Amino acid sequence: MATTPRRWIAHLDMDAFYASVELLRYPELQGQAVVIGGGRRHQPQTLADGTRRFATLRHYTGRGVITTATYAARDLGVHSGMGLMKAAQRAPDALLLPVDFDEYRRYSRLFKAAVAEVTPLIEDRGIDEIYIDLSAVSGVHDPLAHDPFGGVRAVAQEIRNSVRSATGLSCSIGVTPNKLLSKIASELDKPDGLTILTLDDLPTRIWPMPVRRINGIGPKAGAKLIALGVTSIGELAAQPRDWLVEHFGRSYGTWLHEASHGRDERPVVTHSEPVSMSRETTFERDLHPKADRAELTRIFTQLCEQVAADLQRKAYVGRTVGIKLRFEDFRTVTRDLTLDEATANAAVIRRAAGACLKRVDLTLRLRLLGVRAGSLLKAARAQSLTAPRCGAPAANSVPQELELPFGGGTDTALPG
């Protein structure tokens, strides 16, 4: 008879989240191979008869990567993180859509709010996934006829129904005694899956999997394990603890032993303060600081405004403003500036980020640009510490006089 766990932890993962949101907007694409990752020039065109024309991968040129893809596209061998040019070779007729992070964040808030109606014990792990502690939910430990886990299954199904009702989207949920196993379980029956496992299921459901399926075993550790002849989680579980410590060190070796046996006592952390908020973009072609300064300035200003809007929406202010640049030779440079007062004002962030730019040699073409606000405080606390004012009044847009060419003009916050 299966052992009833003392706690039930769920991992909820939205199915092909970005792509699914886009299919709500373009329902005619249901069931088709769709890739999300194009730029603005890949927006669908509305024709005279009201139908829409979509870009395909066939004629794509640039360095963009796939953010996500529908399951139909994945069946053709394309996946997130793959370059769009490479994807075009495998699936030239797959449809291409640009990313819309504002819309994805809106749906993220909707599905998390729906889950919170069932239980507030939620650990936010990103835009499309959460952990949920179901242990204290009413009825979760109650068995049903012919199903010893009927209570937890009913609660998990209620969560899935609530998410679909609130968003129109499907999710997959893994429910196990801990976070480590639940993360694995949520992937087992995708899409639209519900998987419930206990430690009794380790030999049949978990141990046959590759070691990399354990969250926390990265490429280097995975390659080292394979070189040592350990390819599956079961083979890892069969190794003595001392052997793992010898090869991977005391801390990581001990964790590998515990993880392979499905042991994980980490609690669901319902709230954690963010360290920083950032926005960045990778260009489809390298942009030159002088030849493309108008476009770079527009993007730079937009990033500052987006960071400010993120801070304001979550009621934070930042004391540190930083930039991130990646050049055509793949060299990455960061610069930071600490302000006298914390802020969530777009113009103040723009000036500080511009001052950071003055400390960078802008002679090579750029492939990535990012803006970051760090040393965060809750706005209310910062206000009480710096009364009567905290930085400049919150604003989501940069004044027109600051909108000068990237690296040009008379704005003293930007390089001349």
Domain boundaries, the chain: 9-15+103-203, 17-99, 207-260, 276-402
Q: How many residues does the chain have?
A: 416
The per-residue pLDDT for 412 is: 35
Q: Which amino acid is at 273?
A: E
Q: Which CATH superfamily is domain 207-260 in?
A: 5' to 3' exonuclease, C-terminal subdomain (1.10.150.20)
Q: What is the pTM of this model?
A: 0.72
Active site residues: 129
> Domain 9-15+103-203, what fold?
Alpha-Beta Plaits (3.30.70)
3.90.870.20, 3.30.1490.100, 3.90.1300.10, 3.30.300.30: which CATH number matches 276-402? 3.30.1490.100
Where b means 16+ CB within 10 Å and e means fewer, 179-207 reads bbbbbbbbbbebeebbbbbbbebbeebbb
From residue 144, give the alpha-carbon distance in Å to each of 105, 150, 153: 37, 5, 10
Do residues 78 and 35 touch, judged by C-beta distance below 8 A?
A: yes
* Sign of the torsion formed by the C-alpha atoms of 170, 178, 203 and 231: positive
Residue 50, token pair as written in the block: 């009201």
Long-range Cβ contact pairs of 23-31 (< 8 A, separation 24 or more): 23/70, 24/168, 24/169, 25/103, 26/52, 26/54, 26/97, 28/52, 29/54, 29/70, 29/95, 31/72
The per-residue pLDDT for 407 is: 53
The per-residue pLDDT for 406 is: 62
Residue 224, token pair as written in the block: 């080292």
3.30.420.40, 3.40.50.2300, 3.40.1170.60, 3.40.630.10: which CATH number matches 17-99? 3.40.1170.60
The per-residue pLDDT for 393 is: 53
The per-residue pLDDT for 121 is: 93
* Sign of the torsion formed by the C-alpha atoms of 172, 177, 179 and 184: negative
d(CA 120, CA 125): 15
d(CA 19, CA 149): 33
Which residue shows structure tokens 């793949």? 330
Do residues 176 and 9 touch, judged by C-beta distance below 8 A?
A: yes
The DSSP 8-state label assigned to residue 272 in this structure reads -
Helix (H) or strand (E) holding 163: helix 150-167
Residues in the chain with pLDDT values less than 50: 1, 388-390, 403-405, 408-416
From residue 229, give the alpha-carbon distance in Å to each of 149, 316, 356, 371: 37, 49, 49, 44
Which residue shows structure tokens 């996934």? 129
Do residues 322 and 337 touch, judged by C-beta distance below 8 A?
A: yes
Do residues 376 and 318 touch, judged by C-beta distance below 8 A?
A: yes
Residue 318, token pair as written in the block: 């930042």
The per-residue pLDDT for 22 is: 94
Q: Where are the beta strands (DSSP E) in 262-400?
A: 276-287, 316-327, 332-343, 366-378
d(CA 248, CA 226): 13
The per-residue pLDDT for 365 is: 92
The per-residue pLDDT for 62 is: 82
Which residues partner with 140 through β-bridges?
Answer: none
162: helix, strand or coil: helix
The per-residue pLDDT for 305 is: 95
pLDDT in tens, 210-262: 999 999 999 999 999 999 999 999 999 999 999 999 999 999 999 999 999 99
The per-residue pLDDT for 283 is: 86
The per-residue pLDDT for 355 is: 94
